[in-house]
A and B are shown apart, each in its own frame.
Chain A
Amino acid sequence: MANEPNLLQLEDVTKVYRMGDVEVHALRGVSFAVAEGEFVAIMGASGSGKSTLMNIIGCLDRPTSGRYLLAGEDVSGLDRDALAEKRSRTLGFVFQNFNLLSRTSAIENVELPLLYAGAHTRERHERAHAALERVGLAERIHHHPNQMSGGQQQRVAIARALVSNPKVILADEPTGNLDSVTSVEVMALFQELRDSGITVVLVTHEPDIARYAARVVVMKDGKLQSDVRQEPQRAVPAPAEAAVGGES
């Protein structure tokens, strides 16, 4: 671990989907590394393999060939249980469509990862509460998803992703379903997480969103096309009253 500087390291990773006789090469040899504390945006045309790459990074899927080292450990050959363990301990997910459990309060949604990590009821509750506080939803812990705006739902999802103290948060188009004002709020949250040392990898189609990242990777036809470091723009949320007014 000590002599392994990269938190995420992919070495010539390929992914081939087989659909009957047709082989779809979603990834054609991707090598790239992310150091701890980086904020990476992945861009690229539709079908270029961004989600496929994210799924592999997120231990939801395994590469067809190549190696993937997560925190120095080769996880490309792990079984379903071991991958679940990695997701539970090291990774947090944020989805485009929030993926909160319906008819379930915000706090219960946020507690979910801790349930599978084996935390006790009390500890779960306290940590979930703290996470919701961190995303600015301390007042809405008992609200259900259908009682919240899209931005609020995505903040609950972010709270869920960070509640188990993951090393990496992976977000596949987290602002895809949000308006521009709310998107900036969410990006501000991600920048805040990064500032506290969490590595953030997100996929986006919007250059406006990619501006907030310190590194932009562009994919094309299952390969990396470019990998550029930049000075990130600071996400400044709109004045609070406007945001609150817009949401409620």
Chain B
Amino acid sequence: MNPLQTLRVAIRALLRNKMRSFLTTLGIIIGVSAVIAMVAIGEGAKAMVEQSFAAMGSNLLIILPGTTTAGGQHGGFGSMPTLTWDDLKAIQTEVPSVKYAAAQLRTVAQIVSEDQNWSTGVYGTSPEYFAIRDWPVAQGAPMSESDAEGGSKIVLLGQTVVDKLFGANTNPIGQLVRINNTPFQVQAVLAAKGQSPMGQDYDDAAFIPLKTFQTKIQGGLHQFISGVIFVGATSPAGTVRAEKQIRSLLRDRHHLAAGTDDDFSIRNLTELASAREQGTNTLTTLLASIAAVSLLVGGIGIMNIMLVSVTERTREIGVRMAVGAKPRNILAQFLVEALTLSFAGGLIGVVLGLVAAQWLAARFHWPMLIRPDIIVISVVFSALVGVIFGIYPARKASRLDPIEALRFE
């Protein structure tokens, strides 16, 4: 008997009892579709996290003035300025793993266009800032060094601000807006960035040169930076090194004795991002393992029904043996039946899983992420489950004594 004939015999036997065959595969169907849907959910969540962290900037460290409280929470910046402009310069020049560093001063102000006004975050910063945050302009010219140093009255607007002040799909380059009664010329519209991991709209912001911010908004130069410092490290791995080096540099510069708390804090966004990613990976693994357990349960279901089937079909087995079937023919038949059930269940499960994943993705506005490897693995795994849980009943069938099997009532 060749494998094809065995397969045909098995399929015929399964079709003889369609309802039972379907119910037997149900466990596998649910298991596989659960695995696929769960992994898609996990991957979708991960992609969301990755996207929003990527939007913050690459290899990013943020240095905040003031101590952290016992609970690790920052006291709120500006309350206790400790970072100086010389600190910034030192970070820029003395720390090798730092590629860029830029101050970011912030206030909330009304921006007034000809016929609209909008209250938003207004930031004073320098050109490096946009490099640190991977934030190119969509229209117009980026902020230049001379803009920053010279205190020119230009502004770079985020997409949301443009939409609010000028309406969507307009070109505001060259228009005048007023911030704190000072007219600013719109020099650029920044590329849309989307939301932060905390759900804040990155595009609801306006950027003006540092010097301009100090003179026109802050009202004069200060020794301390009344804001935060953004640092771009040379590489993702470099963020940890940069963090360490900056810490020791600043402690040194601030004459902090060993054992005392820092009077600043450093947030490592790359680390935070990878921690978050690890979190979602753990979530994916957890969901997938729960689903895999259900696959296992499905396999046990197959074994269960196959055992019942062997008992119920004892006489059939006896007849087959009497007309010349060898034990291995019987073994192969029942094994192939189990395999066919689990494999078919796996395929149906894949289809259902994909449909479920698609629906969930659409529902929660996630990216739809299909992992072909997971599809292959779960189909192979379910087939494997079929073989493993099919072996015992099949062996049982093949070891039946033909005489007793024929006599079975």
Contacts and interface: CB of A to CB of B under 8 A. Distances in A.
B326 A160 contact: no
For the residues of B in contact with A, the DSSP-based class is: helix
Interface stretch (B76-84, B95-103, B146-154, B315-323): B315-323
Interface residues of B, number: 22
Interface string A149-174: 00000000000100010000000000
Contacts of A84: 321, 324-327
B406 interface: yes
Nearest to B409: A97
B326 A115 contact: no
A117 interface: yes
Contact of A87 (B12, B324, B327, B403): B324
Query: In this complex, which of B320, B322, B326 has the most chain A Cβ atoms within 10 angstroms of its Cβ?
Result: B322
B322 A116 contact: no
A112 B402 contact: no
Interface stretch (A99-107, A126-134, A236-244): A99-107
B323 A87 contact: yes
A60 B403 contact: yes
A55 interface: yes
B406 A115 contact: no
B323 A81 contact: no
B326 A112 contact: no
B16 A60 contact: no
Contacts of B406: 60, 95, 99
A117 B12 CA distance: 19
B293 to A, nearest CB: 36
Contacts of B70: none
Contact of B319 (A58, A80, A81, A99): A99
Interface in B282-323: 315-316, 318-323
Nearest to B398: A80
B68 interface: no
Nearest to A161: B323
B212 to A, nearest CB: 88
B9 interface: yes
B323 A113 contact: yes
Contact of B329 (A93, A100, A116): A116
A225 B191 CA distance: 107
22 contacts: A55-B403, A60-B406, A84-B324, A85-B324, A87-B321, A89-B324, A95-B406, A99-B319, A99-B322, A99-B406, A100-B319, A101-B316, A103-B16, A108-B12, A112-B320, A113-B323, A115-B1, A115-B5, A116-B1, A116-B325, A118-B1, A160-B323
A128 B322 CA distance: 17
Contacts of B328: 81
Contact of A93 (B1, B12, B316, B322): B322
A104 B315 CA distance: 14
Interface in B372-409: 402-403, 406
A103 B19 CA distance: 14
A104 B324 contact: no
Top 3 nearest A-B pairs by Cβ distance?
A88-B324, A116-B324, A113-B323
A55 B402 CA distance: 10
A100 B320 CA distance: 10
Contacts of B402: 60
B284 to A, nearest CB: 45
Nearest to A99: B319
Contacts of A101: 316, 319
Nearest to B326: A84
Interface of A: 55, 58, 60-61, 80-81, 84-85, 87-89, 93, 95, 99-101, 103-104, 108, 112-113, 115-118, 160, 164
Given A58-B322, A95-B406, A112-B319, 13 more contacts: A60-B321, A60-B406, A81-B327, A84-B325, A87-B324, A88-B323, A104-B12, A112-B320, A115-B9, A116-B324, A116-B329, A118-B1, A160-B323
Given A99-B318, A99-B319, A118-B1, A113 B324 contact: yes
B283 to A, nearest CB: 48
A99 B315 contact: yes
Contacts of A113: 323-324
Nearest to B17: A103
- The residue in A58, A60, A113 that gathers the most chain B C-beta atoms within 10 A of its C-beta is A60
A89 B324 CA distance: 8
A60 B406 CA distance: 10
Nearest to B399: A80
Contacts of A87: 321-324
Residue among A58, A95, A103, A116 having the largest count of chain B Cβ atoms under 10 Å: A116
Given A60-B403, A95-B406, A116-B320, A104 B16 contact: yes
A160 B320 CA distance: 11
A104 B13 CA distance: 9
B99 to A, nearest CB: 73
B27 to A, nearest CB: 25
Interface string B173-217: 000000000000000000000000000000000000000000000
Which of B5, B324, B325 counts the most chain A CB atoms within 10 A?
B324
A161 to B, nearest CB: 8
B371 to A, nearest CB: 41
Contacts of B329: 116
A81 B316 contact: no
B398 to A, nearest CB: 9
A88 B323 CA distance: 6
Contacts of B9: 115
A155 to B, nearest CB: 16
A213 B303 CA distance: 49
B310 to A, nearest CB: 15
A164 B324 contact: yes
